[in-house]
């Protein structure tokens, strides 16, 4: 059965995840499984990897809070609201995996702030919220892009690139929802 012919996106996602276990395992090995060899290698090599992961975790936690703000703003209408909640779910998954990996590597994961500053006074319509989210996602793509080459461990770099791909899709979908060209250029910086 094709992913495109599935009755709901959730069903398609389940099918995709079920079929692509082998593909995902490359990134998952580093992040999800208890990979002692990776932990040992990274501990002995560069503590910089833990710092990179922690910075990414801080940004993911803030993104979760930003989407929460959007979801509770009453400015988002379905199906955009569903989209925001779905994307927030992805960021929660990223944050969860990053925190577990940091802990496995012997680091202390940062935690969510009790309060985030957001430009609430500038969010007056659905489009304002979408633009705000799109900017965060664009920044996330660039941030991961700027972090990938820094990892001492290539498995972690690959895992970060996997998250980068997800953020890029968020950005494209949000741009599309805003009526902008979803993919504005052939390269990202």
Partner 1 sequence: MKLRGAIALALGAAWAFAACAAANPQHGEEVYGRCLACHALGYDRVGPRHCGLFGRRAGSVPGFAYTDAMKKSKLVWEEKTLDRFLANPMKVVPGTAMTYEGVTDAKDRADLIGYLRQASAGPECRK
For residue 175, what are its two tokens? 């741009």
For residue 119, what are its two tokens? 């430009």
Nearer to partner 1, 49 or 76 (CB): 49
Contact call for residue 55 and partner 1 (CB under 8 A): yes
Contact call for residue 39 and partner 1 (CB under 8 A): no
Give the burial string for 63-90 (b: 16+ CB within 10 Å, else e).
bbbbbebbbebebbeeebbebbebbbeb
Nearer to partner 1, 56 or 75 (CB): 56
Contact call for residue 25 and partner 1 (CB under 8 A): no
Q: Which residue, among 45, 183, 166, has the nearest Cα to 98 in the 3D structure?
A: 166
Least distance from partner 1 to the Cβ atom of residue 26, Å: 22
Cα distance between residue 54 and residue 111, in whole Å = 9
Contact call for residue 48 and partner 1 (CB under 8 A): yes
Cα distance between residue 165 and residue 183, in whole Å = 13
Nearer to partner 1, 37 or 186 (CB): 186
Those residues whose C-beta lies under 8 Å from the C-beta of residue 80, and which sit 6 or more positions away, are 126, 130, 177
Contact call for residue 75 and partner 1 (CB under 8 A): no
Contact call for residue 15 and partner 1 (CB under 8 A): no
Nearer to partner 1, 46 or 127 (CB): 46
What x/- string results for residues 116 through 135 when contact with partner 1 is judged by CB under 8 A?
xxxx---------------x
From candidates 59, 75, 99, 174, binder to partner 1 by CB under 8 A: 59
From candidates 54, 73, 127, 176, binder to partner 1 by CB under 8 A: 54
Q: Give the footprint of partner 1 on this chain (CB under 8 A).
A: 48, 51-52, 54-56, 58-59, 62-63, 116-119, 135-136, 138-140, 142-143, 145-147, 149-150, 189
């Amino acid at each position: 059965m094709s992913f495109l012919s599935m009755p709901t996106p959730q069903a398609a996602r389940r099918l995709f995840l079920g079929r692509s276990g082998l593909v995902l395992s490359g990134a998952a090995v580093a992040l999800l499984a208890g990979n002692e060899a990776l932990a040992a290698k990274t501990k002995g090599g560069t503590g910089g990897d833990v710092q990179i992961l922690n910075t990414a975790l801080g940004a993911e936690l803030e993104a979760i809070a930003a989407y929460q703000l959007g979801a509770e703003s009453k400015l988002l209408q379905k199906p955009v609201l569903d989209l925001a909640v779905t994307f927030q779910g992805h960021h929660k998954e990223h944050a969860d995996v990053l925190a577990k990996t940091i802990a496995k590597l012997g680091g202390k994961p940062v935690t969510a702030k009790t309060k985030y500053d957001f430009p609430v006074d500038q969010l007056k319509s659905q489009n304002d919220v979408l633009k705000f989210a799109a900017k965060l996602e664009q920044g996330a793509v660039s941030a991961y892009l700027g972090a990938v080459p820094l990892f001492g461990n290539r498995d972690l770099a690959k895992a970060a690139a996997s998250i980068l791909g997800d953020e890029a899709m968020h950005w494209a979908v949000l741009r599309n929802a805003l009526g902008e060209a979803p993919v504005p250029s052939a390269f990202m910086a």
